[in-house]
């Protein structure tokens, strides 16, 4: 499925605000959303600093996600973000908002920093490898493996999305999250059955996409299930854990269902760059038969 052309379309149209890859960095021809810029930074190129600073932010972010970062570590990260021109919400970090708290604003600023500041072995290099050389990630013996059900579902995906999903799962594990892939490929019949739920069949509505209208049908989407510290599945899509997981997935170029207009779909991730659903339906007719996972 390489080389498809066409406008980028979401399974369900993304909502306003920075979408996946929206802050991927000046080196990729992209830019920060205005709310995360500091007005005293005029030259975007000046914001790229050393590999060591990138690792400091990344390592502190991971420790904070695990709940083991000291207040002084978070303050140090906030200071670095301030010095490189990142903001927290409406206030500049510089001298006013360094509070040692790993709140949502600090998470957003740190995530934007990591997506923009590229080091030699950083996320952008992994993203490039996932899209262009996916088997370097999929087949690498040193990469961690996951539970059998997750591995089975990863194997259903297009190699590019498989590689992105593997990086996403590794990042969530490193951040202390308990995640698995709950759904991947769906056949047209399975998609139609899912669409019927809450309409012509009992249950609640879980999708607005009929067969052929979802990136699941083309092996370009997967859903993530998260468990809490007690091992119970988190069924509330508004739980902050899903937004934390999304910040990680978006770093690898994935679109998150939480940004969809027509239906908030927190577990959903897809890759649709240069691949619209009409083009996919025309070039790759949706297979029939119940081969997918529900």
Within 10 angstroms of residue 99's Cβ, the number of other Cβ atoms is: 15
CA dihedral sign, ordered 26, 28, 31, 33 = negative
Vertex 78 angle, CA 75 and 84, to 5°: 145
CB-hemisphere CA count at 13 Å for 152? 9
Rounded distance, CA 110 to CA 113, Å?
A: 5
Domains of the chain, earliest start first: 26-116 (no CATH), 123-283 (3.30.1380.10)
Rounded distance, CA 244 to CA 111, Å?
A: 10
Q: Are 108 and 81 in contact (CB under 8 A)?
A: no
Residue 201 is encoded by which pair of tokens? 């069949």
Q: Are 58 and 83 in contact (CB under 8 A)?
A: no
CA dist 48 to 18, 121, 126, 132, Å? 20, 14, 18, 25
pLDDT by residue, tens only, the chain of 294 residues: 333 322 233 444 333 333 333 322 222 222 333 333 333 333 433 444 456 788 888 889 888 988 889 999 999 999 888 888 886 554 554 444 788 999 888 888 888 887 777 554 567 778 888 999 999 999 999 999 999 999 999 999 999 999 999 999 999 999 999 999 999 999 989 999 989 999 999 988 888 899 999 999 999 999 999 999 999 999 999 999 999 999 999 989 899 999 998 889 999 999 998 889 999 988 876 555 444 433
User: What residues contact 166, with CB distance under 8 A and at least 6 apart?
Assistant: 137, 138, 143, 154
Name 179's bridge partners: 226
């Amino acid at each position: 499925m390489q080389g498809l052309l066409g406008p980028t379309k979401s399974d369900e149209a993304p909502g306003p605000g920075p979408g996946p890859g929206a802050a991927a960095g000046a080196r990729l021809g992209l830019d920060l959303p205005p709310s995360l810029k500091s007005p005293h930074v005029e030259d975007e190129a000046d914001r790229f600093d050393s590999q060591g600073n990138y690792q400091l932010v990344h390592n502190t972010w991971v420790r904070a996600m695990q709940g083991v970062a000291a207040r002084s570590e978070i303050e140090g990260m906030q200071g670095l973000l301030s010095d490189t021109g990142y903001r927290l919400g409406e206030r500049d970090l510089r001298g006013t908002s360094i509070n040692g708290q790993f709140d949502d604003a600090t998470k957003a600023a740190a995530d934007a920093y990591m997506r923009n500041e590229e080091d030699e072995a950083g996320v952008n290099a992994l993203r490039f490898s996932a899209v262009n050389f996916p088997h370097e990630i999929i087949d690498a013996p040193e990469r961690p493996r996951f539970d059998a059900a997750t591995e089975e579902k990863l194997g259903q995906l297009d190699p590019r999305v498989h590689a992105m999903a593997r990086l996403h799962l590794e990042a969530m594990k490193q951040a202390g999250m308990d995640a698995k892939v709950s759904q991947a490929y769906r056949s047209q019949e399975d998609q139609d059955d899912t669409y019927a739920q809450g309409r012509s069949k009992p249950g609640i509505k879980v999708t607005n996409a009929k067969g052929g209208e979802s990136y699941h049908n083309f092996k370009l989407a997967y859903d993530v299930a998260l468990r809490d510290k007690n091992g119970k599945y988190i069924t509330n899509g508004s739980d902050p854990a899903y937004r934390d997981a999304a910040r990680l997935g978006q770093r690898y170029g994935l679109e998150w269902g939480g940004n969809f207009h027509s239906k908030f779909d927190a577990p959903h991730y897809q890759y649709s760059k240069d691949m619209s659903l009409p083009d996919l339906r025309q070039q790759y007719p949706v297979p029939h038969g119940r081969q997918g996972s529900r």
